[in-house]
Structure 1
Amino acid sequence: MTVIIEHKWLFAIIGEIAFFALASAFFIARYWFRMIKTSCFFILLLIFNELFLALLAVFDYIETGKMSSFQIFTAIFYIYLIFDGKNEFAKLDRYFKKKAAKWKGETIPDFGEEEQHDEKKYGAARAKEERQGWYMHLLIFMIGQCVVLCQ
């Protein structure tokens, strides 16, 4: 276990590379080969990969007994994952579904309402969206500062 903790950044980098590889495998299996069950297997592996990175941060805290930049980085990543990860993954899903259909010469799916949500906003709606993003960043910053100052 000590070896894993000593090389935690290497494992984090390998975990992120595995994330992109597994996400790519998911989209390829799902939309290019239409292998739905296999794509679900890749999602399961993706979840286990992310759980491994979370456990790595927990074990690092248990081993050192104090907060480190690695744990803060991991916490920020999971905060992002919880608040915006689902939306980003949905955007990627729509993008790859369209790309696969285009490359295969099939009819490109129309997502209707889902894409209208992604349209650019103007005026008060845009300002509200920007404020919400700014509040989220402020909250994450304050949590990070509290963690660093409470050490």
Structure 2
Amino acid sequence: MIDFILDYKWYFFVAGEIIFWGSIIGFLLLRYVFKLNRLNKYLILLWLLSDLWLLTLVILDFMRTGHFNTFQILIIIAVIYAFTEGKKDIKKLDGFVNRTITKWQS
């Protein structure tokens, strides 16, 4: 099973990114359009789990190859960004969506 995952690691990376962006969009929809603030916390959890999945891919790939490669470096950069500057960017996006929805509703 691990060999299958590592043979198709780029597909799993793309799937992880789709889950990430889907959870961000879902979070914003639940929060501002449907006003379901309790449910949007589950989407944040999904976002964190998708990043953990990507880190797991890096670890498995490193264990298989024994050295760092482009795939691993790309994911490490993406995860570092997500947990540092990405937080600020998500807050900016959240504020922008909040202002935009508030304008539409008034």
TM-score by length of 1: 0.66
Deviation of 1:64 (Å)? 1.3
The Cα of 1:85 is off from its aligned counterpart by: 1.1
Counterparts of residues 16-27 of structure 1 (less than 5 Å): 16-27=17-28
Measure, in 2, the Cα distance between the counterparts of 1:87 and 1:96: 14
Report the Cα distance in structure 2 between the residues aligned to 1:75 and 1:89, rounded to whole angstroms.
19
Measure the CA separation in 2 of the matches of 1:79 and 1:46: 14
- Which whole-Å CA distance do the structure 2 matches of 1:52 and 1:46 have between them? 10
User: Given residue 99 of structure 1, which amino acid in structure 2 is its aligned partner?
Assistant: T
Instruction: Show CA shifts across 1:72-100 (max 9, x none).
Output: 11111122223311110110110111122
Larger radius of gyration between Structure 1 and Structure 2:
1
User: Greater relative contact order (Cα 8 A, min sep 6): structure 1 or 2?
Assistant: 2
Answer whether contact 2:19 2:50 (CA < 8 A) is retained: yes
Name the residue aligned to 2:34: 33
Unaligned runs of 5+ in 1: 107-151
Are residues 1:94 and 2:90 paired?
no
More helix by share: 2
Counterpart Cα distance in 1 of 2:15 and 2:38 = 25
| Sequence identity percentage | 32
Provide the aligned length of Structure 1 versus Structure 2: 105
SS of corresponding position for 2:15: helix
